[in-house]
Amino acid sequence: MKKQGGFSAEGTRLQNINLSTHNGDVASGRGVTDGAGYLGAFRKLDTATQSPQFAGGEKGYIYDVAPTPNMVDVAATLGERTRKPEDGEVAALGRIDSTQIRGWRPVIDGKVGDFVANPDYRWDVYDQTHIASPQPQLSGFAADDSAWGDASRRPFVEKRESGDKTVYAAHEDPNLATAQFYAHAKEKIRSLERGESYLGPVAIRAKNDLLNGVFGTLGAGAVFRSDGSTSFTGPDDSYVGVIIPKQAKPDFGNLELAPDGRLQFTGDMLKGEVVRVGSNGRLYVDRRPADVNDQNGVFRYDNRSRLVHVPDGKWVTYGPDGHAYLTDDTKPSPFEALKTEWGIVDSTGHAVSPPPSPSAFTNTDAGTANTLYRFERDSDSALAPQATHFVTEVPILSRYDTLGSWLDRVNDKSSSAPDPLGKWLNERNAAWLFPDGYYVVAPTPDRLEVRNLEGASKATLELKTPGAPFVLTQSQAIHPDYKIPQSIWKRLADYTQTRQRLSELQAPA
């Protein structure tokens, strides 16, 4: 398995990939792999042990596989057409990588052995991934299958009458939809492999390059008492500051930005302790507060490489004595400004960035704090049911930095909402996203709906006259008070470009 890099069905011809066919093969006992492009996995160990592979006492292994975004819940996608839904199958499109396998259990004479951990498991990547939401466009049903008429699938097809039969034409070419889904899933995994949204031990080092390359690293300094004890309960006992070694040495991972936004120590001596802010503004080591609503010591890492203290918006710097403290100096000298910048690296020295903390978000017009947090962790979480992806631009239109600027042009009865816009979005099952957290979808080619990331309606536009621009028929006041972080916007823009390239490759010559 390791030599092969995992398990792969990537050699399957695109036109042969079909989730419904795969489900039928698995349900009929033909095995978990076939010629339909998917690899079968199951939620329950008991189901896996019943695989035909182990019939007659054959030896083998059951692999514990981490969920990934190229995996589809078969029953949730195929619905009532699922064969043997009790299997609880999750089908992986394309491949299961060896580094996403947590471990395995040997099966000998029908008996399952002890779990063996995979030493190559990438916990930093696959502890954060999950399977995709239901994907109706990947169902793979025949064009005349009435299942396409169900409410969950109807937005992805156009109903047509052909003689005495009703047929359904997919909005997007099924091969293109499959390729785009797979490419998008792999891009999500690659972003984690690059160190984005990294959760694990890190070194937080000062950006300024002092003493011929010896970087100062954020750490704890402690007072050791005469009785041999060490106390870390307040600013008088243990401070947090920049430790500059006398000689250059590799960074060490002694901190982590925990999911709740706290800087948490990972070393043996201070394991579980966190960074807090004293009344004097200095950082010190303390126990994690019992009150979950206490935001003292909750930080976020912004796009200027600053550690921002969430309660007051101040950022971490350090003084001549090395002590770290908070500052809100808006006009610092160039050197003092540099001291507020921090690089975050893993134990190998690779630059990483932490995920956002739920506590760093507040309710906005674009969505609730929880919705914004989930969006920044996975933008697909905010998609409308009839959309498969966001796009950051529409080729037939100019670019708009805000929803308001686009709506202003619509009100001016300009060509900012031309007739083809609804058709373009509808045929691609796309949601057109704006940087301030609103998007436009087209449930039908002659209707546009403006929503926030919560899914709440903000405006409706209708095509009253074919060939004429859309007309605003309903609207609510918008109060733009959120901006999608630049790193996330760039990622979404890259996704948009990838989809466009795939579309061009699939286009008829």
Q: Which of 194, 225, 253 is the last residue of a domain?
A: 194
Residue-wise pLDDT for 175-208, tens only, equals 999 999 999 999 999 999 999 999 888 989 887 6
Assess whether 300 and 392 both reside in one domain. Answer: no
Residue-wise over 425-456: b if at least 16 C-beta within 10 A, else e? bbebbbbbbbbbbbbbbbbebbbbbbbbbbee
Query: What pLDDT, on the 0 to 100 scale, is given for residue 231?
Result: 45
Question: What are the structure tokens assigned to 454, written together?
Answer: 């919560």
CA distance 448 to 454: 17
What own/partner pairs with CB < 8 Å and gap ≥ 24 does 462-470 have? 463/419, 463/422, 466/419, 467/419, 468/419, 469/410, 469/413, 469/414, 469/415, 469/416, 469/417, 469/418, 469/419, 470/410, 470/417, 470/418, 470/419, 470/421, 470/422
- Across the range 263-269, mean pLDDT stands at 86
- For residues 495-505, average pLDDT: 92
CA gap 418, 55 in Å, rounded: 62
Whether 6 and 81 share a structural domain: yes
Pairing of strands 217-222, 238-243: antiparallel
Number of domains in the chain: 3
**Residues 425, 475 share a domain:** yes
Per-residue pLDDT band at 214 (split at 50, 70, 90):
low
Burial-class residue 36 by CB neighbours within 10 Å (0-12, 13-18, 19+): buried
3-state secondary structure (DSSP) of residue 492: helix
Chain centroid, CA 164 distance in Å: 45
Structure tokens at 423: 């058709």
The CATH number linked to 69 is 3.90.210.10
Please tell me the predicted confidence (pLDDT) of residue 508: 65
Say which residue, 347 or 445, is predicted with more confidence.
Answer: 445
- So which residues are the catalytic ones? 89
Angstrom distance (rounded) from CA 322 to CA 205: 12
Place of tokens 């007659």: 56
Residue 224: predicted pLDDT: 40
Q: Are residues 213 and 185 part of one domain? A: no
Domain coverage including residue 75: 2-194
Q: 74-106, pLDDT tens digit by residue?
A: 999 999 999 999 999 999 999 999 999 999 999
Name the helix (H) or strand (E) containing 40.
strand 38-42
> Which region among 26-40, 144-158, 302-316, 324-338 has the lowest average model confidence (pLDDT)?
26-40
Query: Domain boundary residue among 334, 354, 374?
Result: 354
Among 173-187, 267-281, 365-379, the minimum mean pLDDT is found in 267-281
b or e along 408-421 (b: 16 or more beta carbons within 10 Å of the residue's beta carbon)? ebbeeeeebbbbeb
Q: Are residues 137 and 231 in the same domain?
A: no
Q: What 3-state class would DSSP assign to 257?
A: strand
CA-based nearest residue to 67, from 138, 152, 150, 127: 127
Judgement on whether residues 315 and 416 belong to the same structural domain of the protein: no
- Does 150 lie in the same domain as 10? yes
Query: What is the average pLDDT value for the chain, to the nearest integer?
Result: 89
Which of 336, 354, 372 represents a domain boundary (last residue)?
354
Query: Per-residue pLDDT for 505 more than 90?
Result: no
Q: Are residues 118 and 176 in the same domain?
A: yes
Sign of torsion, CA 81 87 90 96? negative
The answer on 321 and 182 residing in a single domain is no
Q: Are residues 39 and 177 in the same domain?
A: yes
Q: Are residues 286 and 335 in the same domain?
A: yes
Q: What's the half-sphere exposure (Cβ side, CA atoms, 13 Å) at 468? A: 10
Residue 234: the pLDDT is 43
**Looking at the DSSP assignment, which residues form a beta bridge with residue 90?**
41, 73
pLDDT at site 263: 94
Query: pTM score, two decimals?
Result: 0.89
User: Are 7 and 31 in a shared domain?
Assistant: yes
Tell me the pLDDT tens digit for each residue of 232-249: 444 445 788 887 665 555
pLDDT at 252: 55
- Supply the DSSP symbol for 1: -
Q: Report pLDDT for 29.
A: 79
> The domain that contains 319 carries what CATH number?
2.80.10.50
Residue type present at position 101: I
> Residue holding tokens 């609510």?
476
Instruction: Print burial letters for 185-219: b (CB count within 10 Å at least 16), e (below 16).
Output: bbebbebbeebbbbbbbbbbbbeeeeeeeebbbbb
